[in-house]
Amino acid sequence: MHIKRIFKYEFWPFWLFYIPAYCYYFYLAIKAKRWVYFSTLNTCMDYGGAFLSSKNNYLKFIPKNWMPRTVYAQKNDLFEKTQKLLSENNITFPLIVKPDMGERGKNVALIYSEKELENYLLNIKEPVLIQEYISYPIELGILFFWDTNNKPCISSIGVKKFCEIEGNGKDTLEKIVLKNHRIAKRKNILKEKFKPKWQQIIPKGEKILIEPIGNHNLGTTFYDGRKYYSEEMLSWVVECVKNIPGFNYGRLDLKIENWSAFRQNRGVKLLEINGVNSEPIHIYDPNYFILNAYKDIFYHMKIIYLLSKNKMDKKAPTVSLLEFLRGANKVLKKKKISKLLYS
C-alpha cells in the first residue's frame, strides 16, 4: 500500500472510517425506537435508498431532456435485443454501463465497442442501465433534502476531478502511475489499458486522462464545492426532484457544461440519485480535516433522523429489522459474487 493512503482518511476502508458513525446510529435508533427509522424516507426507493434500490424505478420520472439517453437491460436479455434498444434510443459508443442497483460506483464502466459491451453484459449477471456518455467537464455530487418545514436545502456540494497525469519528460507512464497514490494500486489494470504507452517516457507537459469516470475508487479526487452554491442551482435541483414521488433526501450526481449552466438552465445532465446512503462527498477533499468530516457526517445523520421522526409522528410505517437484515444479506451475497467476477 502507498504510504500516503495510510495517513489520509479518504482512502481508509469504509467500515473503518465509519465506526464513529455506527455508534451514533445506534444512539439515534434507540432514540427513534425504531432500528430502521430511515426507511420512512424516499418511498420511491427500497429501504429509503439504503441499498438495493433500482435506479430505473425513480429515474423514469425525470424529464428525458434532463438525463443522458438511457436504456434498461435485463440480465437475461439477448445481446441483439440490447443492440436494438441502443439503436432505437440513438445511443452510440462510447457509452456508460452501470448496475441498476449498484453502490459507490462499483462496476461502472465506459465502453468503447460492441465487443466490450457484450463481454460486460455476460459477466455482470444483473440488470444494468446503459447511458450515452456525457462529456461535460464538470461532475458534481449535490446533497439535497426537504427539511421538516418542507423547505428545500442543499447541504453539500462535491466537485469531482477526473484522474489525469502529466508527463515530466523523464519517467515512463508506468513510473508515473506507481508514484501516484490514487492509482498505483490499479497498475495491472492500467498496464493493460495503456499497453502501447506503458513503457514510453511521457513528454513534459503532456497530459493523459487516466479515468473519465467520477469514481473515487478509480482515482477521482473529490473537492469541497460548497462555494459554488447558488439560488439557480437550488432551483434546478428542486425542479428536478419534484418529479420523483416520495423523495425526501439524497445526493444528485450530475454533469454540467460550465458554471453558468444552472443560471442558463441548459448544459446540465442528471446521472443518478442516491438515497439515505448518500454521503456528503465534500468531506473527502484532501485538505479537509477529519474532525470536520465526522461533524458533517453526524449532521447529515441527524437530518435523516429528524426527517424520519417527523414522518413517524404522522404514522408513516417503517421496515421491520428482520426485513432489513434480509435485504442486507442479499447485498452481502451480491458483493461476494461481484468480488469473484471482477477481482
Selection from 142, 185, 183 nearest residue 160 by Cα: 142
With beta carbons less than 8 A apart as the criterion, state whether 139 and 253 touch.
yes
Report whether pLDDT(105) > 70.
no
Q: From CA 224, how far away is CA 226, in angstroms rounded?
A: 6
> pLDDT-based confidence at 339, cuts 50/70/90?
very low
> pLDDT-based confidence at 129, cuts 50/70/90?
very high
- DSSP annotation of 257 reads S
**How confident is the model over 140-169, as pLDDT tens digits?**
999 999 999 999 999 999 999 999 999 999
Mean pLDDT of 269-280: 95
Mean pLDDT of 121-125: 86
Selection from 182, 189, 215, 211 nearest residue 2 by Cα: 182
Residue 104 has what pLDDT?
66
Mean pLDDT of 31-59: 91
Q: What mean pLDDT is reported for the chain? A: 91
16: burial class by Cβ within 10 Å (0-12, 13-18, 19+)? exposed
Question: What fold is seen in the domain 41-68+136-162+216-290?
Answer: D-amino Acid Aminotransferase; Chain A, domain 1 (3.30.470)
How large a percentage of the chain has pLDDT more than 70?
Answer: 95
pLDDT greater at residue 147 or residue 107: 147
**Amino acid, res. 300:** H
Q: Same CATH fold, 69-133 and 41-68+136-162+216-290? A: no
Report whether pLDDT(136) > 80.
yes
Residue 194 has what pLDDT?
93
Selection from 56, 57, 117 nearest residue 83 by Cα: 117
Residue 297 has what pLDDT?
98
Residue 106 has what pLDDT?
78
Which residues, listed in sequence order, are joined to residue 98 by a DSSP beta bridge?
Answer: 129
Report whether pLDDT(20) > 50.
yes
Residue appearing with cell numbers 495503456: 194
Q: On the CB side of 243, how many CA atoms lie within 13 Å of its CA?
A: 16
- Domain extents in the chain: 41-68+136-162+216-290, 69-133, 164-211
User: What element of type H or E holds 238?
Assistant: helix 231-241
Residue 215 has what pLDDT?
86
**Torsion 241-245-251-255 (CA) sign:** negative
Domain 69-133 -> CATH class: alpha beta
**How confident is the model over 159-218, as pLDDT tens digits?**
999 999 999 999 999 999 999 999 999 999 999 999 999 999 999 999 999 988 888 888
Report whether pLDDT(335) > 70.
no
Report whether pLDDT(325) > 70.
yes
What the block records as the C-alpha cell of 205 is 507537459
Report whether pLDDT(340) > 50.
no
Report whether pLDDT(96) > 70.
yes
With beta carbons less than 8 A apart as the criterion, state whether 244 and 11 touch.
no
Q: From CA 14, how far away is CA 194, in angstroms rounded?
A: 29
Q: From CA 340, how far away is CA 50, in angstroms rounded?
A: 23
Mean pLDDT of 227-233: 97
Residue 212 has what pLDDT?
86
Residue 188 has what pLDDT?
93
Report whether pLDDT(337) > 50.
no
Which residues, listed in sequence order, are joined to residue 142 by a DSSP beta bridge?
Answer: 157, 252
- DSSP annotation of 169 reads S
> pLDDT-based confidence at 341, cuts 50/70/90?
very low
Q: From CA 238, how far away is CA 309, in angstroms rounded?
A: 23
> pLDDT-based confidence at 75, cuts 50/70/90?
confident
Residue 1 has what pLDDT?
56
* CA distance readout (Å), 185 to 5, 8, 41, 109, 203: 10, 15, 37, 18, 24
